[in-house]
Structure 1
Amino acid sequence: MLEPDKESSFIDYYKVIGCHPSSTPEQINTEYKIRALQCHPDKNRNNEDATKTFAHLQIAKDVLTDPQERKDYDLWRNSGLGLSYNKWKTMRNSMKMSMHWASTVSPERITESQAWEPVTFQDSVQRKVFSDNGTVTDVREEMRRKFRNYEI
C-alpha cells in the first residue's frame, strides 16, 4: 500500500473514487477502474498533478476495499476528529488500554455512618490496622482498595 503525504490524509476517499459510503467493494473497484483510466499519469503526461491524483486514487481504493481498513476509515470519518486519518490510525494502533484491575462488582455507596476519618501522618507511619466488615486490614491497603474501586 502506498504511503500518503500530509495533504492526502484529510481527503475524503469516497469522493476521490466517486462513490457513496454504502457502496459495495465491487462498486468501488468499478469506479476505481473508470477513474484510473481517466487520470493515469501515462495518459496525462502534460499534467503534473496526474501522478498525485493517481496516487490518492490508489490509496483510496486500498483503504475502501479492505474490510478492516474501511471499517477503521468509516469510524474515523464519522468521529469528526481534527486528526488526520493516518495520524489517528497510528495513534490507535500504538495506544492500548489496560483494565487489569477493574472490578466487576459495583461497590456499595459510603453513607455518613460508614465514613472514615482522614488518615494522619502519624497513623500512616504506624500503619494503623482497623477492622472493616469483619476483616483486619492495613490503612494503605484499604486506601488502595477504595481507590481501585472508585470509592475515593
Structure 2
Amino acid sequence: MDFKDYYVGLGVSPDADEKTIKKAYQKLAKKYHPDVNPGDKVAEEKFKEATEAYQAISDPEKRRKYDELRQDYQHWQKRGGRGDYNWDRWQTNPGRGGSGSQGHTMSPEDFAEMFGGAGRTGGFGGFGGEGYSDFFSTLFGGGGGQGRGFSGGSTVGRGRAGQDTEVDVQVSLEETFNGTTRLIRTGEKQIEAKIPKGVRTGSKVRLTGQGGPGIAGGPGGNLYLNITVSPHVHFVREGDDLRAKQPLDFYQAIFGGEVSVRTFDGEVLLKIPPRSQSGKKFRLKGKGMPNIERPDQRGDLFIELSIILPDDLSEQELSTLQELANKRG
C-alpha cells in the first residue's frame, strides 16, 4: 500500500486553514468534474483523488489522525525506510472492509452550494463503485474497493485493534552495543522483548501486537519500549561515535611507544608518536557504536591523550629532571 500526501494532492501546505483547503478543492473539482469532462478517465481519476484528499483533511478528526501518520511516515523515511512500513497502528478496519466509519458524501445540494451550479452531482455514486483508495480505507474505513465507495452507505463493523501500551526500559551501553533482551510483564502475560543494537536514549522499540488485546477478534495493540541508556564510566557517546580519555605515562609522551586501548571489541594497540601533547586525539575507525538502522555500520572511537605524571619518581629521577630543567632555563 502506498502513502498518499493529501496536501500535495490538493496543492496546499500542511498548515493550511479550512478556507484555503476548500478553495483549493473547488478549483480542482471544477476543472476535473465528470460533468465538465464526460468520458475522460484521466480527469475522472483526478477528481476522485482530489475529493478523497478533501474528505481526509477537511474533517478535523480525520485530519488529526492523518497528520500523525504523515509525520510518523516521514520520520520513518528519514531513518532510511528499511523494510515495509507498519500500518497496523493506523488501521481503522483490519483486513479491509468497513469499520463502522463512512466518508462524507456531497449531495447535489452540497455541490451546488460549493460551486454555485445546479444539476452537478457530488460524490462517486456514478463511478462504478471503485470507491476509496486502500490508503484512505485503512485509515478511516469506508469499505475501500468493496463497491460502496464514495457513494456512502453504512458498513458492518469488524474487529478493532487493541490499545497501544508503553514501558520504560533502561539498558547499559554494553547492552546497546551488543543488543539485548528484557522480560516485560504487561497485564497477565510476560514476554521476552528483543532490544536491537544501536538504540539510544529516546529510542522507541515497537513490539507489534504485544499491547492491549484486540476488540471483537481484532489484532492486539502495539507495545512500545521507551529506551534510556545508562552513562558509561569510560566512554561518552555522541551519536554513533564514542569518545574516551587515554591516560599516558610521562615517559611515553616524550619518547612515544604503544599503549593498550579499551574498545567494546577488546583491547587494541595504539601507536603514540614521540613528544605527544596532552589532549592529542586519535580516531579508531569503526570502533564506535552500531547504527540502529544499519547495524553492520559503526561509528568511530576518538581517543584523547591525558598525560599522567608518575607519583613514584625516585630521588635520582627527580635530580635528573631538575638538572634538565635548569639547563632549559
Question: What range is the shorter-chain TM-score in?
Answer: 0.5 to 0.7
Do 1:76 and 1:85's aligned partners in 2 also have CA atoms closer than 8 Å? no
SS in structure 1 of the partner of residue 63 of structure 2: helix
Matched, 1:95 2:161: yes
Q: Deviations over 1:65-101 (max 9, x none)?
A: 11110000011111116244543556xx9212287xx
Give every structure 1 segment of 4 or more consecutive aligned residues whose post-TM-superposition deviation is greater than 6 Å: none
Query: 2:10: which partner in 1?
Result: 17
Q: Deviations over 1:116-148 (max 9, x none)?
A: xxxxxxxxxxxxxxxxxxxxxxxxxxxxxxx56
More helix by share: 1
For residues 54 and 67 of structure 1, what CA distance do their matches in structure 2 show? 22
Matched, 1:33 2:26: yes
Higher relative contact order (CA 8 A, sep 6+): 1
Structure 1: unaligned runs, 5 residues or longer? 1-5, 100-146
Matched, 1:68 2:61: yes
More strand by share: 2
Task: Give the number of the structure whose alpha-carbon radius of gyration is greater.
Answer: 2
For residues 69 and 56 of structure 1, what CA distance do their matches in structure 2 show? 16
Query: 1:56: which partner in 2?
Result: 49
TM-score (norm 2): 0.26
For residues 30 and 186 of structure 2, what CA distance do their matches in structure 1 show? 60
In structure 2, do the counterparts of structure 1 residues 46 and 86 end up closer, same or farther at CA, with 3 Å as the change threshold? closer
SS in structure 2 of the partner of residue 68 of structure 1: helix
In structure 2, do the counterparts of structure 1 residues 89 and 32 end up closer, same or farther at CA, with 3 Å as the change threshold? closer
SS in structure 2 of the partner of residue 97 of structure 1: coil
For residues 96-135 of structure 1, the aligned pairs below 5 Å read 96-97=162-163
TM-score (norm 1): 0.52
Q: Deviations over 1:96-123 (max 9, x none)?
A: 2287xxxxxxxxxxxxxxxxxxxxxxxx
Do 1:25 and 1:65's aligned partners in 2 also have CA atoms closer than 8 Å? yes
Cα shift at 1:40: 1.1
Query: 1:77: which partner in 2?
Result: 70
2:138 aligned partner, one-letter code: K
RMSD between aligned alpha carbons? 3.5
Structure 2: unaligned runs, 5 residues or longer? 77-84, 88-134, 142-158, 166-184, 193-329
Query: 1:45: which partner in 2?
Result: 38
Do 1:28 and 1:65's aligned partners in 2 also have CA atoms closer than 8 Å? yes
